[in-house]
Amino acid sequence: MKKYLSSVLLILFFVLSAIGHYAHWSPTVEFIISAVAVIFVAGFLGKATESVAHYAGQRLGGFLNATFGNAAELIIAVMLLREAKFDMVKASITGSIIGNLLLVLGLSLFAGGLKHKIQKYNVTLAGMNGSLMIVAIIALFVPAIFLNTHVLHEEDRNTLSLVVAGVLIVAYLLWLVFSMITHKNYLADVTDRTEQQLPHEHEPAWSKKMSILLLVVATVMVAFVSEWLVHSLDTFTTKFGLSEIFVGAFVVAIVGNAAEHSAAIMLALKNKIGAAVEIAVGSSLQIALFVAPVLIFVSHLIGKPMDIVFTVIELAAIGVSVFIAKSITQDGKTNWYEGLLLIAVYCILGFSFYLV
Amino acid sequence: MKKYLSSVLLILFFVLSAIGHYAHWSPTVEFIISAVAVIFVAGFLGKATESVAHYAGQRLGGFLNATFGNAAELIIAVMLLREAKFDMVKASITGSIIGNLLLVLGLSLFAGGLKHKIQKYNVTLAGMNGSLMIVAIIALFVPAIFLNTHVLHEEDRNTLSLVVAGVLIVAYLLWLVFSMITHKNYLADVTDRTEQQLPHEHEPAWSKKMSILLLVVATVMVAFVSEWLVHSLDTFTTKFGLSEIFVGAFVVAIVGNAAEHSAAIMLALKNKIGAAVEIAVGSSLQIALFVAPVLIFVSHLIGKPMDIVFTVIELAAIGVSVFIAKSITQDGKTNWYEGLLLIAVYCILGFSFYLV
Amino acid sequence: MKKYLSSVLLILFFVLSAIGHYAHWSPTVEFIISAVAVIFVAGFLGKATESVAHYAGQRLGGFLNATFGNAAELIIAVMLLREAKFDMVKASITGSIIGNLLLVLGLSLFAGGLKHKIQKYNVTLAGMNGSLMIVAIIALFVPAIFLNTHVLHEEDRNTLSLVVAGVLIVAYLLWLVFSMITHKNYLADVTDRTEQQLPHEHEPAWSKKMSILLLVVATVMVAFVSEWLVHSLDTFTTKFGLSEIFVGAFVVAIVGNAAEHSAAIMLALKNKIGAAVEIAVGSSLQIALFVAPVLIFVSHLIGKPMDIVFTVIELAAIGVSVFIAKSITQDGKTNWYEGLLLIAVYCILGFSFYLV
**Contacts across the B-C interface (CB distance below 8 Å):** 85
Contacts of A351 in chain B (CB under 8 A): 160, 163-164
Considering chain B, what percentage of its residues have pLDDT values greater than 70? Answer: 93
pLDDT score at A195: 42
Go through B280-313 and write b for each residue having 16 or more CB atoms within 10 A of its CB, e for each that does not: bbbbbbbbbbbbbbbbbbbbeeeeebbbbbbbeb
Cβ of B348 and C163 within 8 Å? yes
Q: For residue range B58-112, what is the model confidence (pLDDT) as tens digits?
A: 777 777 776 777 888 888 889 889 988 898 899 989 999 999 999 999 999 999 9
Residues 6+ apart with CB under 8 A from B143: A352, B160, B161, B164, B307, B308, B309
What is the rounded average pLDDT for all residues in chain B?
Answer: 87
pLDDT score at B194: 41
Residues 6+ apart with CB under 8 A from B154: none
CA dist C73 and C254 (Å) reads: 10
- Name which residue leads in pLDDT, A106 or C179: A106
Confidence band, pLDDT 50/70/90 cuts, at residue A198: very low
Considering chain C, what percentage of its residues have pLDDT values greater than 90? Answer: 42
Which residues are bridge partners to A120 per DSSP? A333
Mutate to test the interface with B, among C132, C134, C173 (most CBs of B within 10 A): C134
Confidence band, pLDDT 50/70/90 cuts, at residue A46: confident
Does residue B55 carry a pLDDT above 90?
Answer: no
Contacts of A131 in chain C (CB under 8 A): 324, 327-328, 338, 341
CA dist A318 and A324 (Å) reads: 10
Calculate the alpha carbon distances from C347 to B111, B157, C340 in Å. Answer: 44, 41, 10
- Name which residue leads in pLDDT, C118 or C191: C118
CA dist B326 and B328 (Å) reads: 5
Q: For residue range C73-98, what is the model confidence (pLDDT) as tens digits?
A: 888 899 889 988 899 899 989 999 99
CA dist A70 and A257 (Å) reads: 8
Mutate to test the interface with B, among C128, C138, C189, C318 (most CBs of B within 10 A): C138
- What one-character DSSP code corresponds to residue A241? T
pLDDT score at C205: 77
Q: Is C164 helix (H, G, I), strand (E, B) or coil?
A: helix
Asked if residues C281 and C98 have their Cβ atoms less than 8 Å apart, the reply is no
Contacts of A143 in chain C (CB under 8 A): 352
Pairing of strands A333-334, A119-120: antiparallel
Region of poorest pLDDT, from A186-190, A322-326, B49-53, C49-53: A186-190
Q: For residue range C248-303, what is the model confidence (pLDDT) as tens digits?
A: 888 888 888 887 788 888 888 988 888 888 888 888 999 999 999 999 999 999 99
Residues 6+ apart with CB under 8 A from B193: none
CA dist C100 and C263 (Å) reads: 12
Pairing of strands C333-334, C119-120: antiparallel
* Domain hosting residue B268, numbered range: 2-196+203-355
pLDDT score at A190: 47
Calculate the alpha carbon distances from A306 to A162, A171, A252 in Å. Answer: 10, 21, 19
Of C117, C349, C356, the CB nearest to A150: C356
Measured in degrees and rounded to the nearest 5, phi and psi for residue A210 equal -60, -40
Whichever domain contains B166, its CATH number is 1.20.1420.30
Q: For residue range A295-336, what is the model confidence (pLDDT) as tens digits?
A: 999 999 999 999 999 999 999 999 999 999 999 998 888 999
- What one-character DSSP code corresponds to residue B303? T
Measured in degrees and rounded to the nearest 5, phi and psi for residue A280 equal -70, -55
Strands (E), chain B: 119-120, 333-334
Cβ of A335 and B178 within 8 Å? yes
The contacts found for A351-355 with CB under 8 angstroms, 24 or more apart, are A351/B160, A351/B163, A351/B164, A352/A313, A352/B142, A352/B143, A352/B146, A352/B160, A353/A243, A353/A245, A353/A246, A353/A249, A353/A250, A353/A313, A353/A317, A354/A242, A354/A246, A354/A250, A355/B146, A355/B152, A355/B156, A355/B159, A355/B160
Burial (CB < 10 A; 0-12, 13-18, 19+), residue B54, is: buried
CA dist A93 and A74 (Å) reads: 9
Looking at residues C333-353, what average pLDDT do you find? 95
Burial (CB < 10 A; 0-12, 13-18, 19+), residue A43, is: buried
Looking at residues B49-58, what average pLDDT do you find? 81
pLDDT score at B2: 66
Residues listed for chain C: 356
Q: For residue range A107-129, what is the model confidence (pLDDT) as tens digits?
A: 999 999 999 888 888 888 888 99
Residues in A lying within 8 Å of B, measured between beta carbons: 117-118, 311-313, 316-317, 320, 323-324, 327-328, 330-331, 333, 335-338, 340-341, 344-345, 347-349, 351-352, 355-356
Q: How far is Cα of residue B56 from the mean position of the Cα atoms in its chain? A: 23
Asked if residues C105 and C277 have their Cβ atoms less than 8 Å apart, the reply is yes
- Name which residue leads in pLDDT, C12 or B180: C12
What is the pTM (predicted TM-score) of this model? 0.90
- Name which residue leads in pLDDT, C50 or B106: B106
Asked if residues C166 and C293 have their Cβ atoms less than 8 Å apart, the reply is yes
Asked if residues B294 and B169 have their Cβ atoms less than 8 Å apart, the reply is yes
Confidence band, pLDDT 50/70/90 cuts, at residue A202: low
Residues listed for chain A: 356
Query: Total structural domains in chain C?
Result: 1
Residue B340, amino acid: L
What is the rounded average pLDDT for all residues in chain A?
Answer: 87
Q: How far is Cα of residue C132 from the mean position of the Cα atoms in its chain? A: 16
- Chains in touch with C (3+ beta-carbon pairs under 8 Å) read A, B
CA dist B45 and C309 (Å) reads: 45
Q: Which of A156, A170, A160 is nearest to A140 (CA)?
A: A160
Q: For residue range B196-240, what is the model confidence (pLDDT) as tens digits?
A: 444 445 667 788 898 889 988 988 998 888 888 888 888 888 888
Measured in degrees and rounded to the nearest 5, phi and psi for residue B202 equal -100, 145
Rg (CA), chain A: 20
Give the helix ranges, DSSP H, for chain C: 2-22, 27-55, 58-68, 71-82, 86-98, 105-115, 123-149, 154-177, 184-188, 193-197, 208-239, 244-246, 253-256, 258-269, 273-286, 292-301, 312-329, 336-355
Go through B162-198 and write b for each residue having 16 or more CB atoms within 10 A of its CB, e for each that does not: bbbbebbbebbebbeebbbebbeebbbeebbeebbeb
Looking at residues A172-185, what average pLDDT do you find? 87
Considering chain A, what percentage of its residues have pLDDT values greater than 90? Answer: 42
Q: Is C119 helix (H, G, I), strand (E, B) or coil?
A: strand
Q: Is C50 helix (H, G, I), strand (E, B) or coil?
A: helix
CA dist C97 and A123 (Å) reads: 29
Q: For residue range B284-333, what is the model confidence (pLDDT) as tens digits?
A: 999 999 999 999 999 999 999 999 999 999 999 999 999 999 999 988 88
Q: Is A333 helix (H, G, I), strand (E, B) or coil?
A: strand
Q: Is A242 helix (H, G, I), strand (E, B) or coil?
A: coil
